[in-house]
Amino acid sequence: MKSSAFVRTRRLAQAGSFFLFLRAALSAQTPAPPAPASPSPSAPISYSAVHVDGPYIAMTFDDGPSAKLTPELLDILAAHHIHATFFVVGENAIAHPEILQRAVREGHEIGNHSWSHPAFAKMSDAKVRSELQKTDDAIRAALGGRPVLLRPPYGSITLRQKRWINQEFGYRIILWDVDPLDWKRPGPSVITSRIVKETRPGSIILSHDIHPGTIKAMPETFDELQAKGFKFVTVSELIAMGTPMPPKQQLGSEGPTPLSSPGAATPSPSPAPSAGAGLTTP
Ligand SMILES: [Zn+2]
C-alpha cells in the first residue's frame, strides 16, 4: 500500500533525477549559437533537416537498443567524440535500461520510436497514444526524464497526428533527409558512401543500430564526415541551432509545406517519405 508520504517522496526523487537528467543533457551540449527560448506557439513541430549556419549534422539510430550492437556503437561514438540520437523501441528499451543510461551519460539523446514499431498513419488515435505512452513510460523509468522527440516508425504519420501528438506529448516529430537504406543490408561501404554523398549542413541522417553492417560502416563514415568538416550534435541541439531560412532556398522540399512558420524547420515530406526518399532527392 502506498501512503501519500511515500508517493510524495517518490515524486521528489523523480523530480531530482529528472533534474540530473536535464543537467546531463544540458552539459552535454557543445557550444552553440544562442538557442531560441522555449518553443513559441508558431514553432515548427516537424523536421526532416534543420537550416543552420555551420557544418552541424545529427546522426540518428533507430530500433534499438540492441544488447550486442548498441554498446559496440557507443564505443565507436566515444572514440570519435560524437554525440548521436537514439530513437528507441519501447520493447527493447524496457529490456535494456542500462544501455539507455549509458547513452545519456555519454552525451547522447534518447527519443521515442513507439512501443512495437507499427505504422501510425492508419491507426486509431487510441492505439497510437498507447504506443507512445508505454515507450515514454519505459524511457522515464530508465532515465528519470521524458523524451522530447518522436520518430514515427517508417516515417508513417499524418499531419493531423503530428499536431495532436505534439499537443498531447510535447514531442517534436523527427524525420530525416539522408537515408542510406541500411536496413536492406547493402554492405558497410555502400552505407558509408551513401551517407557521405548525401549529407549537407543541417542534415538528419537515418540509420539503425540493429544491423551489424551499419555498425561496421560507422568508423569510416564518421572519419569521412569529420574529414569534410562536419560536426555532430544531437537532434535537439541541431534544432536549437536552427536559423530562419530565406524563402526559395528550402532544403529537401519534397512536397507542400504543412507548417509555414518562419522558423528553422525544413518542410517535412507529406505524406511521409518512402524508404527511398533520401536517395531520389536531388
Ligand atoms: Zn524504425
Q: What pLDDT digit, counting tens, does each position of 173-215 carry?
A: 999 999 999 999 999 999 999 999 999 999 999 999 999 999 9
Q: Calculate how far, in angstroms, residue 153's C-alpha sits from the geometric centre of ligand 1.
A: 5
Question: Cell numbers of 155, please?
Answer: 516515417
Distance of alpha carbon 168 from alpha carbon 214, whole angstroms = 34
Using CA atoms, how far apart are residues 265 and 50, in angstroms rounded to an integer? 5
Query: Which cell numbers hold the place of 40?
Result: 513559441
**How many angstroms separate the alpha carbon of residue 121 from the centre of ligand 1?**
14
Q: How confident is the model at residue 247 (pLDDT cuts 50, 70, 90)?
A: low
pLDDT-derived band of residue 271, with 50, 70 and 90 as boundaries?
A: very low
Q: What is the pLDDT of residues 89-131, one digit of tens each?
A: 999 999 999 999 999 999 999 999 999 999 999 999 999 999 9
Mark whether 136 is an active-site residue: no
CB atoms near residue 74 (< 10 Å): 20
CA 155 – ligand 1 centroid, Å = 8
C-beta atoms surrounding 167 within 10 Å: 10
Question: pTM of this prediction?
Answer: 0.76
The active-site residue out of 83, 108, 208, 211 is: 208
In terms of Cα–Cα distance, which of 122, 125, 131 is closest to 150?
131
Show me where the domains of the chain are located. Answer: 45-280
* Most confident of the following: 12-21, 35-44, 64-73, 237-246: 64-73
Alpha helices in 62-124 (DSSP H): 69-79, 90-95, 97-105
- The whole-chain average pLDDT of the chain stands at 82
CA of 11 to the centre of ligand 1 (A): 32
- Which among 176, 126, 124, 132 is positioned nearest to 150, based on CA atoms? 132
CA–centroid distance, residue 154 to ligand 1 (Å): 6
Question: Residues within 5 Å of ion ligand 1 by Cβ?
Answer: 62-63, 153
- Which amino acid, one-letter code, is at 45? I
CA of 87 to the centre of ligand 1 (A): 8
Question: Which residues lie closer than 8 Å to 63 by C-beta, 6 or more apart?
Answer: 87, 88, 89, 92, 113, 117, 208, 209, 210
CATH number for the domain whose boundaries are 45-280: 3.20.20.370
- Taking a C-beta distance cutoff of 8 angstroms, is the pair 113, 140 a contact? no
Position 16 pLDDT exceeds 50? no
Task: Measure 66 CA to ligand 1 centroid, in angstroms.
Answer: 13
The reply to whether 209 belongs to the active site is: no
**pLDDT grade, residue 41 (50/70/90)?**
low
Mean per-residue pLDDT, 52-60 = 98
Is the pLDDT at 165 greater than 50, yes or no?
yes
User: What does the pLDDT read at residue 43?
Assistant: 76
Residue 66, pLDDT > 80, answer yes
Distance from the CA of 151 to the center of ligand 1, in angstroms?
Answer: 8
Q: Which of 62, 63, 182, 209 is catalytic?
A: 62
